[in-house]
Structure 1
Amino acid sequence: MDKFVVVDLETTGHSPSKNDKIIEVGIVVIENNVITDTRTTLLNPSKSIPPFISNLTGISDEDVVEAPLFYEKADKIIDIFKDSYLIAHNVTFDLGFLNAELAANGRERLMNPVLDTVELSRILFPKAPSYKLGQLASYLDIRHEDPHRALSDAYVTAKLFIKLKEKLESLPYETIDHLFKLEKMFISDVKELLSERLEELAFSIADQKDITSFKGLAFKHIDDIIKETYVVETSFGEYLDEIYEENGSMQRQFTKYEKRAGQREMSEIIYDSFHSSSHALIEAETGTGKSLGYLIPAVYEAVKTKHKIIISTYTTQLQSQLLDEEIPSIRDFIEIPFKVALLKGKSHYISLEKFTHELDNTQTDNYDTALTKAMLLVWLTETETGDIDEVQLPTSGYFFYKKISTDAESNVDPQSPWFSRSYYQKARRKAQKADIIITNHALLCTDMFNDYQFLPGYEKVIIDEAHHFEDTASRHYGMKLDYINMQFTFNQIGRSNDGKMFGKVLKNYSLTEEHIPIESWDEILDKTKYEIDDLFQTLYQYVVSQHKNSKSLSDIGRLQYRFKEEKEEQTTWSIIKEMVSRVTFYMRDAIHILSIIEQHLSEREVLDKYDREDLLSMTAILQDFIDGLELLFFTEGTVPQIKWIEIDTKGSKNAVYLYSEPSDISELLADEFFESKKSVILTSATLTMKNSFDFIQKRLGLKPDRLITKKIESPFSYKDQVQLLIPNDFPDIKYGNMDDFIYATCEAIISLAEITKGRMLVLFTSYDMLKKSYSLLKEIITDNEYILIGQGITSGSRSRLKKNFQTFDQAILLGTSSFWEGVDIPGEDLSCLMIVRLPFQPPNHPVFEAKSKMLKENGKNGFMELSLPNAVIKFKQGFGRLIRSSSDRGIVFVCDARIIKTRYGKFFTESIPDVPLTFDSTKNLLTKAEEWF
């Protein structure tokens, strides 16, 4: 069948069952990969079009009043689809509507084979940042003239389908063959297309120069890099002159280059630190050009001394920015050739061996698993890194991925043919030969707390986004256990008869009761799962019962409770500890049986490598569970720990998470890290409070005797670019006026949005307050004038919400926690930043509570030493969202009058750049904002 018909509909709503109707049809016909026909018509839905749909599509009631009814066009529509594939971007939606209308008008439903371009794009373009039609079009350079109109959307979908077909025809035989085995799970009827392609490939040799295959799996061929040696002749001063000064390489490279004194100063401080074997704390404000400021001396030092330098970031976003933007840019204007490598933890890299083994195991595949396998098959023909962060997997696809990551491999045999093909080993080899290694705080800390066995040896390291370093180190020295992960593990192991890991081993080796206690296994498994259920439900109830005394909500809406043996209700706590003992007892029994199997089969020399790996990895995971539970409930560990429980009040009655973290990481960092490294450079836009580094220095355990500190101010003219507005007439929350305060906030949001035409980012400290404000704003905004996007309410990741915000002209984005930093919205996309409350952590947050108590016991003030500095640093991060370039202009509206009225308020205002501040009535502030814009 060579005819493909693409359809796109505009409708009055999402559901034909709720009497929603089609208002526009767009149809595009493709034959022999060429668009041969286009049709479009408006339809009269015999009902009013909702304002939101009119806003989105531009179709109003007046436009359709003269339009035909569906039944007048029904036969023509049926005729167009004769002997063709039916294609749509989310085919179940469009086909569902068409068939509902056809059935309502006494016509036969369309039974064509279907192709869903959302699904096919996920499979064939696994690296695409989004699968929405507009964003796919821009990713693939397809012009999209008139989004949300049926013909334009159908035309773009047709162009997309032609690209999908081209991509399919570029894939190697092995990949198509595997896709063919998976296709019965797909929505799209691709069997015929895949079968034709297999036939073509069977009789021709495809031109696949850069594709290699092994054991039936095709993947991109990657050459190992060769390290060239280069001798640096120039002095560091000459090197910087050639880059930074007038007519230097930066000026030659960038037409709009403006010399920034702070950037060169940063490079010099880092070089001095390297050469005096000192550590450094450098606060480089927005606009300094911090990344280049540290990359330039790092490259010089690494190549000159032939010793690697590690650069660690907190977010993968900054890692990508360094690799994709900063490093290529630096290569253009410095003459020193250098090698750079990115290294992450093992869990980030796919294991080709594990994936090959799992590919044929389709018995337990659900749709998400089949889709994940298909995406990975195509991705392997493109990826040079094997880093899973390149792909947007479906949510439950990550459960499958856990089984096939390099982390799931046990003992790696260097003699294995897979070893030389391993992405993780390639990344390690590349890192060994590199001058600069980019990694993340998580791997840096894992390496530090595991005798430095994960990263190649290094003496000098630059830590960017360093305000997160203490928290990351604490998390990695601590631990986390949760119900979902435990039950998932036991479900993976399975009973003796359900075809999961345990049953598979029994079947593969014909094991019987005389070899191992099979009946006992099923009993142990059931009892363990029952006891885990019981334990976590009891913990859930315990936290709820303590809730009256400890009302601590996390920023994602979980209820938190810090537990300490001596202060718990002894009767209930004794019962909980007995339950923990029973769980660990049954887990030990399970480990015992798994060990008997492994030993018995190894002695018989019949145990398959993969089955052995499964048995050993499950044994290790169960042992980790036992160690974790014992640390949480029975022992203290070598470093005093803060232990707490979080429950998801909206989840099931066992949605429980257990955590522990050291109460003070500073001594550990001082001994294990700062003492053993020659030079650690810590940099961020936010390290000081009132121009002092004391807080961060103490938290990290940095000794003053070999420490350089420097604050580099922003080159931006904040006085001209920003107005800081603070209302003096908001209700005071202290007196229980929470609802009044939220109402005042929402009124201010709407009034400011009218002045700035949306383009507002509103930062909350509490998810609960965000949710209430979102509901109230939804009621107030009646005419859909503004697109309202709420973190945790509007679906999508942080970067997805940010993209949506930038897509719409008049949008208001409500964010909490992660939106306070690392979100770049430059230019006119963001004109107003509202900070609802000063970002103090709740005083009874488990970690804060414990650390404050410790400070108090040492005669210190927990508020001044901990709460306030953390809040100031977070406030500075939030403030930094507004101005991202020298041409940005905007207002910061802080609803919290404590910034003026309290003695500690000046710590906030004196920690940000000097900007004009107005403290006045909301009415006067709005007038001022309007005049200023």
Structure 2
Amino acid sequence: MQYSRADNRQYPKTDEEKTTLFKATDETLIPRAGQFVMMDTVMTSWEKEENALIEAGTGIGKTLGYSLPAIYFAKKHQIPIVISTYTNLLQSQIFHKDIPLLSALTDFEIQAVVLKGREHYINLFKFEQLLSEVDKTYDVVLTKMQILVWLTETTTGDIDEVNLSGGGQLFWNRMKHTGWFLSPQKDPWLVHDFYLFNQRQAKAADLIIVNHALLLQDHFGGGKWLPDYEYAVIDEAHHFTDAARAQQSFIFSYRRMKFFINRLGTLGKEAMLQRLELMFPEHHQLFDIEIAIIKLEEALENLFLLLAQKLLKANKNATELILVENVIDEKLDAALFFAGEKVLLLMREVSTTLNHVLEYGKKEADKFSEGESVFLEEVYSFLIDWKRAENQLSRMLYEKEEAMMLYIEADKNKALSSVRLRADIVQVNHTLQKDFFDTKKSVVLTSATLTVDDSFAYIRAELGLDATIETRQIKSPFDYGENARILIPSDMLPVKGTPIEEYTGKLAAYLSAIAKETSGRMLVLFTAHDMLQKTYRKMNQDASIAEYRILAQGVSSGSPARLTKQFLAFDKAILLGTMSFWEGVDIPGDDLSCLVIVRLPFAPLEDPYTKAQIALRKKMGLNAFQTYSLPEAVLRFKQGFGRLIRRETDRGIVFVFDNRTDTTNFGKAFLNSIPEVPIVKGTEQKLLEEVKKFFE
């Protein structure tokens, strides 16, 4: 394996050497003691071949804190280091912003690559053939045009660069990369293949930048997407267990199965099966597939009708219903199990027979035109997706080894097309320890939110890491005592016991009064959509703030990113958001001066996943509140608090309307887990005067 050239330059061990390195560049880098501590902790962990947990407070310069030792270590030992993030946004930021800075700092010739799963890349052979198909559907025509333009500009072939419509995303299934069924040499676009190009880049890279999903898929998904590596950085590590659970959790939906069946079609319908008959007219097994498909449609209707009826019987307003809290201890009821098993057997019959047809086609490959070859590749890609759904249903019916929960989901109308059977893995710590951490020499995990009340115990247990792991908590360098205040109203109605209309009326009036003092520039974080919507309607009717632009998630149109852009575009704006706004929103400077936390962010007890976690801990003899509900809420609270002060010069106030931070023992854990900030408690009048004084 060939890596990029090494260099004799040594890692700067002292603070003086690091400061000299910073000053040698044109970048306006500020030497920070905390960042230097992080660099040395990362380097020492790799040299000792030990894992480490590092909480790096906002403003430390976390990315440079791990990437500088990473490049020195990679160059010295001629090995790749994997950097994994939770979001694609951070992946892109590291590659386009931090790698050039790293190169300028070190004067190294850095080979870095952003790597994603194979299905993110386009198969040019498939796309070329699809261009010749006449399909006047708007989404298909638009997607073809989008991709043609994009192909003149892209250097990666990664579809995330294109904003596809819903129909475009379905059409993408026909051209996504799934490897080759026939010989790759039959692909005339092989030398231009983006996936292979990125794989070659990765094999010669110093730094391989991936997301958690791909990293975990490489370990648990049965594929091999990454080159061999023994050292890694897990950034946004507070999401690593979520990503691991998501990797091993899945949904079996009516809509997706109908989509599969329609793509396959029947011999009398213009679809995949009919085209296979034209290619293999003598292949009688195609009739077996058609019969199995007809039976499968009926079996699917039966299964999903049973699921819908169960949901309706449980509660007219319910959109979720737990069927099995833990598959180790419980079983699906007999009617559902047998209905599911019938669907599974028919799916297996289709996949087995389709596989025989494809293998027959492989033997005849030399006789096919390019169009026929690419069609077989498309059938192969379809079969991979079909078998994945088949395997997932099989695990739902027969899994007994792992703690897994099964439940039904549907929309409010409970339409059959919206019904989904969902399986969520409840515990991943043992799997992560055995199948990931124990297979690596050293993994460094970092985030701004890893501790609860200055303890790493919760996140360490969730990740399956040993109690002896190296931990380092590096506080933010920002002056929160000067630049921030926490205000806790003493005259706000309690959430518990107060009718929601009365509570949101008081809350809306309070928020309007604050907005007038702060000129808007306010982000209000809720934990429930219902309360958000009622508060929004009342604020919208308040004539005293008619000049303010009020934006609300789930009410105003647009994604969180679009709502954030709209918020930035107006001088006087108020943004109401739920869970997706508690983290990942970056509004630096004067655009955000006031953060409001309406309720402490405990997960709702009726949430199926929360129920399963609580039940599991009770079964283990643990206090579910102390070992799950509280630490999860504290970490989310820390994320929410972190939205306010993003830069050294930022200033702002945080209103916490949930007085449990002040009136309960557990409330102290929330305030003890954030930087030290002056806290003011009082009536509305007192707090509004404090706001005015703070901004004068």
User: Which residue of structure 2 aligns with residue 154 of structure 1?
Assistant: none
Q: Deviations over 1:333-356 (max 9, x none)?
A: 222222111111112111111111
SS of aligned partner of 1:734: coil
Where structure 1 has 5 or more consecutive residues not aligned to the other structure, the ranges are: 1-224, 553-557
Deviations 1:425-471 (A, max 9, x none): 11111010010000000011011114672111111100000000011
Question: Is 1:314–1:468's contact at 8 Å kept on the other side of the alignment?
Answer: yes
Whether the aligned pair in 2 keeps the contact of 1:480 and 1:659 (CA below 8 Å) is yes
Return the alpha-carbon distance in structure 1 between the equivalents of residues 171 and 647 of structure 2.
42
The answer to whether the aligner puts 1:234 opposite 2:10 as a matched pair is: yes
Q: Give the one of 223, 247, 259 matched to 2:31.
A: 259
* Matched residue type, 2:140: T
Displacement after TM superposition at 1:639 (Å): 1.9
Aligned to 2:284: 515
Equivalent residue, structure 2, for 1:698:
461
Instruction: Confirm whether residue 732 of structure 1 aligns to residue 491 of structure 2.
Output: no
Separation (CA, whole Å) in 2 of partners of 1:254 and 1:545: 68
Indicate whether 1:563 and 2:324 are aligned: yes
Distance 1:284 1:823 in 2: 18
Aligned 8 A contact 1:339 1:436 in 2: yes
The 8 Å contact of residues 561 and 646 in structure 1, kept in 2 or not, is answered as no
Q: After superposition, where does 1:799-838 map in structure 2 within 5 Å?
A: 799-838=561-600
Counterpart for residue 184 of structure 2: 413
1:712 aligns with 2:474: yes
Shift of 1:535: 2.2
Structure 2 counterpart of 1:625: 389
Q: Give me the whole-angstrom Cα distance separating, in 1, the residues matched to 2:256 and 2:80.
A: 38
Does the CA contact (< 8 Å) of 2:125 and 2:188 recur in 1?
no
Residue 609 of structure 1 corresponds to which residue in structure 2?
373
When residues 235 and 379 of structure 1 are mapped into structure 2, their CA distance, relative to the original with a 3 A threshold, is: closer
Stretch moving more, 559-568 or 891-900: 559-568
Contact 2:328 2:400 (C-alpha < 8 Å) held by counterparts: no
> Which of residues 455, 476, 489 in structure 1 aligns to 2:260?
489
1:872 matches 2:640: no
Q: What is the letter of the counterpart of residue 347 of structure 1? A: E
Q: CA deviation at 1:592?
A: 4.8
Secondary structure class of the residue paired with 2:166:
coil
The 2-side partners of 1:424 and 1:699 are apart by 34
Which of 300, 303, 321 is the equivalent residue of 1:532?
300
Residues of 1 paired with 2:182 and 2:558: CA distance? 38
- Kindly provide the CA deviation profile for residues 459-503 of structure 1, in whole angstroms up to 9, marking residues without a partner as x: 110000000001111121232222222111111112223322112
Are 1:433 and 2:204 counterparts?
yes
Q: Secondary structure at the match of 2:41?
A: helix
The one of 594, 597, 605 equivalent to 1:843 is 605
Q: CA deviation at 1:394?
A: 2.0
Report deviation, 1:274.
0.6
Matches within 5 A, 1:388-403: 388-403=159-174
Are 2:328 and 2:401, in contact at CA under 8 Å, matched by a contact in 1? no
**CA gap 1:544/1:812 in 2 versus in 1, 3 angstroms:** farther
Counterpart Cα distance in 1 of 2:286 and 2:212? 45
Is 1:576–2:300 an aligned residue pair? no
Q: Shift in Å at residue 668 of structure 1?
A: 1.0
Partner of residue 60, structure 2: 288
Measure the CA separation in 1 of the matches of 2:391 and 2:383: 12
Shift of 1:866: 0.7
Matching residue's letter, 1:675: D
Deviation (angstroms), 1:422: 1.2
Question: What is the match of residue 406 of structure 2?
Answer: 643
Superposed CA offset, 1:650-683 (max 9, x none)? 5633312332233321111111111111111000
Give the AA of the match of 2:489. Answer: P
C-alpha deviations, 1:832-859, integer Å up to 9, x for none?
1111111111123222222222222222
| Structure 1 equivalent of residue 520 of structure 2 | 758
Cα distance, 1:565 vs. partner? Answer: 8.4
8 A contact 1:723–1:915 mirrored in 2: yes
Cα deviations by residue, 1:664-714 (Å, 9 ceiling, x for unpaired): 211111111111111110000000011110111111111133x21011011
Q: Secondary structure at the match of 1:532?
A: helix
In structure 2, C-alpha distance between the alignment counterparts of 1:517 and 1:681, rounded to whole Å: 52
Residues 562 and 846, structure 1, Cα contact 8 Å, conserved in 2: no
Q: Secondary structure at the match of 1:542?
A: helix
Counterpart residue type for residue 563 of structure 1: V
Matches within 5 A, 1:95-134: none
What is aligned with 1:674? 437
Greater Cα offset, 777-786 or 845-854 = 777-786
Contact 2:5 2:109 in 1 (8 A): no
| Shift of residue 719, structure 1, vs aligned partner | 0.8
Give the letter aligned to residue 392 of structure 2. Answer: G
Distance (Å, rounded) in 1 between the aligned partners of 2:326 and 2:644: 46
For 1:457 and 1:561, the matched residues in 2 are separated by: 40
Query: Which amino acid is the alignment partner of residue 436 of structure 2?
Result: F
State the SS of the aligned residue for 1:801: helix
Match of 1:275 among 35, 47, 63: 47
Who is 2:665 aligned against? 903
The 5 Å alignment of 1:173-252 reads: 228-237=4-13, 241-242=16-17, 244-245=18-19, 248-252=20-24
Among residues 394, 398, 422, which one is paired with 2:193 in the alignment?
422
1:333 partnered with 2:96: no
Rounded Cα–Cα distance in structure 2 between residues aligned with 1:600 and 1:334? 56
How far did 1:528 drift?
2.2
TM-score normalised by structure 1 residue count = 0.70
Q: For residues 28 and 330 of structure 2, what CA distance do their matches in structure 1 show?
A: 67
Give the gaps of 5 or more residues in structure 2.
none
Matches of 1:342 and 1:709, distance apart in 2: 28
Residues 645 and 656, structure 1, Cα contact 8 Å, conserved in 2:
yes
Mapping of residues 277-356 of structure 1, within 5 Å: 277-356=49-128
Q: Aligned match of 1:366 in 126, 131, 137?
A: 137
The alignment partner of 2:555 has SS state of: coil
1:12 corresponds to which residue?
Answer: none
Which residue identity lines up with residue 399 of structure 2 in the other structure?
E
Cα gap change, 1:396/1:777 in structure 2, threshold over 3 Å: closer, same or farther? Answer: farther
- Give 1:393 deviation, angstroms: 1.6
Asked if the contact 1:563/1:645 (under 8 Å) is kept, the reply is no
Other structure's SS at 1:735 match? coil
Question: How big is the shift at 1:255?
Answer: 6.5
Correspondence for 1:863: 625
Contact map agreement 1:765 1:837 (CA 8 A) in 2: yes
Deviation at 1:241, TM superposition (A): 3.8
> Which residue of structure 2 aligns with residue 211 of structure 1?
none
Structure 2 counterpart of 1:265, one-letter code: V
**1:843–1:849 CA contact under 8 A, matched in 2:** yes
TM-fit CA distance, 1:332: 1.8
**Whose RCO is larger (CA < 8 A, sep 6+)?**
2
